[in-house]
Copies of this chain bind each other. A is one copy, B any other.
């Protein structure tokens, strides 16, 4: 076997960074970008077999000293993998403490735990629903107020002339509101920017994105999304709900808030990554459910994006959270709308009911994929531009204000020059009909698309009578809104891309419907352009985000008509295939641009000739079962290695061979041990070692202090530490000849963080971590390897 495998000696490299990673969120610029600009221009596509990692790392580390406090830089070279992201540990740490606790627990205690899980899911649903409800009501009130003011102003100046004052008012209002949101996001919590879906995807995948599920993030997110939508940006309030739901879940399930320094002393059992992940899945599902009124879609979203191991009870709980979330939102909205008990309008966005069937969708499918790919491609370059030049907070705020002003100006211009007047229908009245230069009893059709919240515009495009829009209006609207939305996504504001995508798609979908109706004789079949709008919307959204099953279900649930399942699915499938031919989905593009070590579903197809031996990091820093405190402190303080997991070995004294594996211990556990001074002085008996409880580890979770904050005296350095009780005595291992796909499957299916590679005598010879696996990916020319870089 060995003679078949091509042996490639990799340069040794650090595998996982320590707790220092705090402070480098996704989607944020920094000062260090110059170094990476140079790197990317050098064209670092690295075919396996060529060795250039060393040079690269030197180039990177030479600039490392210049890293300053907040906003660090993000490399825009997608052939890099950032070392700054830690991993989450979705495998239970089964050490003696844990096993003893589990063994002490009776059947009844497990029942109680199960019930608390359900209670937590219920709470997640209720809170997420309430947040959605608040956002909806506040946005509606504020936007209503804003549009009313602007409308009155326009009406006033239409008569007396001088509409430029109205334009100015509109632009200034929008910019001011957007500025508030952008200030919060840029200066207080940059991780709250965007829809948060890429971040949640990463979290569920097992990547620790700093501060992503904190209370502060939620606050900024909610405030930010209200500002963005009210500020008239081409954004939706739906995407951020998914992030909000996740934060709620992470908070509720831990029974405490570290930010508020409040510990309710409940749910302590759930204070570990495994359990928290499950609840965050439920939170994300509840978010989708609240946003689109799509509880099943929410569950599928969580599963598609996150979970790798499907568990019936877990799924059922997630579904429960989703249902409760929709129900809560519905219930309170129905009260707000003075119609309590009417639960027929679930979700923040509801497409309204469609009745009949759709046919002849061929063109729409492809267009969706193409336009989606174009959107992603443009946004990709824009994001790179932003990483390079717009990385300082004040620049980000200014860009956001600029976009808000431009959006208002463009909208105003379009409305101003539009001659598409439609008669006011007393039955289907518009929310804010602008008469402008139209005759009395008529309104400006372009204004229904621009002078409105995007949610309402989508519904108008779906449901307005045939003939409400003329083709030119729709064409111009599609064109301008496409570029506006593309420019907007990635700004330092909280905002979702779902609704803008739907709006673009609905516009050109309706346009296609109208054109088809005019070019064919049989007018009756093409009668309703609203259905084309729906299919166009699905195609465009599918082309941009590339979700599959979950998006189909979300669309069907939002439409409220199951018979649209087949066309929507066909459209989404085609859009995905066409789009994937050109560029990845928007979320994946952004994840890649952040150099996140993201693990996909399967190892690259042609990676069978790589084995664990070639993939693993080696040599590994190992600890003895009873180790000197000084050694441990030194190892943890070593910033050049900065490992997070250490195999524990039994070393035969005086033997130079690698030692036999007997366990695995994490940096975080060692930190807790050092903090509590669980030392054995050599002079005394072993009984003096302080008894540490599982509770001590849970109390420290998840914000373990850095090693630098722990003071260890010189005397203490001479003590010993017995790791037996705390290490995971049965870590998963693989032999060194295991093929990469096999290692990958084990790693992914079990949500591992460290996988120990052993030889045939059970001696440690290497360690496989997430970054070792994420490095390999399928490029255009076959298997490629990404560089690891300290960004």
Q: Which residues of A contact B (CB under 8 A)?
A: 1, 4, 92, 94, 96, 99-100, 102-103, 105-107, 110, 295-296, 299, 303-304, 307-313, 315-316, 319-320, 323, 326-327, 341-344, 346, 357, 359, 548-549, 552-553, 556-557, 559-563, 565-566, 569-570, 573, 601-602, 605-606, 608-609, 650, 660-662, 729-730, 732-735, 737-739, 742, 745-746, 749-750, 758, 760-762, 778, 782
Question: Which B-chain residue is minimally distant from A326 (CB atoms)?
Answer: B566
**Which residue on chain B has the smallest CB distance to residue A738?**
B730
Which residues of B are found within 8 Å of A552, using beta-carbon distances? 296, 319
Chain B nearest Cβ from A2, distance in angstroms: 10
- Asked if B310 and A303 sit within 8 Å, CB to CB, the answer is yes
Q: Is A319 a contact partner of B569 (Cβ separation < 8 A)?
A: yes
- In the complex, chain B residues whose CB is within 8 Å of the CB of A733: 733
Chain B residues lying within 8 Å of A319, measured Cβ to Cβ, are 548-549, 552, 569
Q: A96–B1 contact, CB under 8 A? A: yes
Q: Is the pair A107, B557 in contact by a Cβ cutoff of 8 Å?
A: no
A557 and B562 contacting across the interface, CB-CB below 8 Å = yes
| Contact A312/B548 with A100-B4, A762-B758 known, Cβ cut-off 8 Å | yes
Q: Which of B106, B359, B560, B760 contacts A762 (CB 8 A)?
A: B760
Chosen A-B contacts, 28 in total, with CB atoms closer than 8 Å, are: A1-B99, A4-B96, A94-B738, A99-B608, A99-B739, A110-B605, A110-B606, A299-B549, A307-B310, A309-B309, A312-B601, A316-B549, A319-B552, A320-B573, A323-B566, A343-B566, A344-B563, A346-B566, A557-B565, A650-B760, A661-B760, A662-B760, A730-B738, A730-B739, A730-B742, A732-B746, A758-B762, A761-B762
- Cβ of A327: which chain B residues have Cβ within 8 Å of it? 566
Contact indicator A4/B295 (Cβ below 8 Å): no
Which of A99, A560, A601, A602: most chain B CB closer than 10 A? Answer: A99
CA distance A106 to B573 in the complex (A): 26
Distance between A62 CB and nearest chain B CB, rounded to angstroms: 36
Given contacts A310-B309, A660-B760, A730-B738, contact A606 B96 (CB under 8 A): no
Contact A315:B311 (CB < 8 A) given known A103-B609, A296-B549: no
Copy number in the complex reads 2
| Set of chain B residues within 8 Å of A560, measured between Cβ atoms | 561-563
Bound CA–CA A565/B559 (angstroms): 13
- Does B739 contact A94, Cβ atoms closer than 8 Å? yes
Among residues of B, the one whose C-beta sits closest to the C-beta of A567 is B343
Q: When the two chains form the complex, which single residue of B103, B660, B750 contacts A608, counting CB atoms closer than 8 Å?
A: B103
Measured CA separation A681–B310 after assembly (Å): 50
Min CB distance, A238 to chain B, in Å?
A: 17
Q: A99-B608, A730-B737 are in contact. Are A304 and B315 (CB under 8 A)?
A: yes
Chain B residues with CB below 8 A from A342, complex form: 357
Do B729 and A737 have beta carbons less than 8 Å apart? yes
- Other than the given A92-B742, A107-B778, 8 more pairs (CB < 8 A) read A308-B309, A323-B569, A343-B357, A346-B563, A730-B737, A730-B742, A732-B746, A761-B761
Q: Tell me the smallest distance from the CB of A624 to a CB of chain B, in Å.
A: 15
Greatest chain B CB density within 10 A among A296, A308, A732, A738 is at: A296
A729-B107 contact in complex given A307-B310, A308-B309, A762-B758, C-beta closer than 8 Å: no
Q: Indicate the member of A304, A548, A735 with the most B CB atoms within 10 Å.
A: A735
**In the A-B complex, the 7 residue pairs with the closest CB atoms:** A102-B608, A110-B605, A730-B738, A749-B749, A103-B609, A762-B762, A310-B310
Q: Is the CB of B549 within 8 A of A315?
A: yes
Of B562, B569, B738, the residue contacting A556 (CB under 8 A) is B562
Give min CB distance, A194 to chain B, whole Å: 22
Residue of B whose beta carbon sits closest to that of A734: B730
Minimum CB–CB distance from A408 to chain B (whole Å) comes to: 37
Closest chain-B Cβ to A779's Cβ sits at a distance in Å of 10
Query: Are A313 and B782 interface neighbours, CB within 8 A?
Result: no
Q: Which residues of B contact A749 (CB under 8 A)?
A: 309, 749-750
Task: Tell me the smallest distance from the CB of A6 to a CB of chain B, in Å.
Answer: 9
A316 to B553, CA, bound (A): 12
Residues on the B chain within 8 Å of A4, using CB? 96, 99-100, 103
Give the complex CA separation of A613 and B569 in angstroms.
50
Contact of A730 among B556, B609, B735 (CB under 8 A): B735
- Tell me which residues across on chain B come within 8 A of A778, comparing CB atoms: 107
A303 to B304, CA, bound (A): 12
Please indicate the chain B residues that have their CB under 8 angstroms from the CB of A609 in the complex. Answer: 99, 102-103
Contact B750 A746 (CB under 8 A): yes
Q: Which residues of B contact A565 (CB under 8 A)?
A: 295-296, 323, 557
Residues of the B chain whose Cβ atoms lie less than 8 Å from the Cβ of A313? 601-602
Give the residues in chain B near A758, CB-CB below 8 Å. 762
A107 to B758, CA, bound (A): 30
Contacting residue for A311 out of B106, B343, B602, B760, CB 8 A: B602
**B782 close to A107 (CB less than 8 A):** yes
**Closest residue of B by beta carbon distance from A556:** B562
Task: Give CA–CA (A773, B697) in the complex, Å.
Answer: 31
| Best-surrounded residue of A311, A661, A749 (most CB of chain B within 10 A) | A749
Let me know if A660 and B296 touch, CB within 8 A.
Answer: no
Shortest CB distance A386–B (Å): 29
* A411 shortest CB reach to chain B, Å: 33
Which residues of B sit under 8 angstroms from A96, Cβ to Cβ? 1, 4
Within the complex, the shortest CB–CB distance from A650 to chain B, in Å, comes to 8
Closest to A101 in B: B608
Q: Given the complex, which residues of B lie within 8 Å of A105, measured CB to CB?
A: 605-606
Q: What residue in chain B is nearest A559 (Cβ atoms)?
A: B562
Distance in Å: Cβ of A277 to nearest Cβ of chain B = 14
Which of the residues B299, B357, B549, B739 comes within 8 Å of A344, measured between beta carbons? Answer: B357
Interfacial chain B residues near A107, Cβ < 8 Å: 605-606, 778, 782
Residues of B within 8 A of A735 (CB): 729-730
Contact status of A296 and B553, CB under 8 A, knowing A730-B742, A778-B107: yes
Shortest A663–chain B CB gap in Å is 10
Q: In angstroms, how far is the closest chain B Cβ from the Cβ of A328?
A: 12
Tell me the bound Cα distance from A735 to B733 in angstroms. 9
Give A310 to B605 CA distance when docked, in angstroms.
Answer: 18
Q: How far is the CA of A256 from the CA of B750 in the complex (A)?
A: 35
Chain B: minimal CB distance from A466 (Å)? 22
* Residues from chain B with Cβ under 8 Å of A343 in the complex: 357, 563, 566
- Name the CB-closest residue of B to A295: B565
Question: From A743, which residue of chain B is reached at the shortest CB distance?
Answer: B730
B295/A548 in contact, CB under 8 A: no
Chain B contacts for A359, CB-based, 8 A: 341
CB–CB B295/A304 < 8 A: no
B761 touches A295 (CB 8 A): no
With A94-B739, A609-B103, A739-B94 known to touch, is A660 a contact of B761 (CB < 8 Å)? yes
| A110–B782 alpha-carbon span in the complex (Å) | 11
A316 contacts B761, CB within 8 Å?
Answer: no
Query: Closest approach, in angstroms, between the C-beta of A558 and any C-beta of chain B?
Result: 9
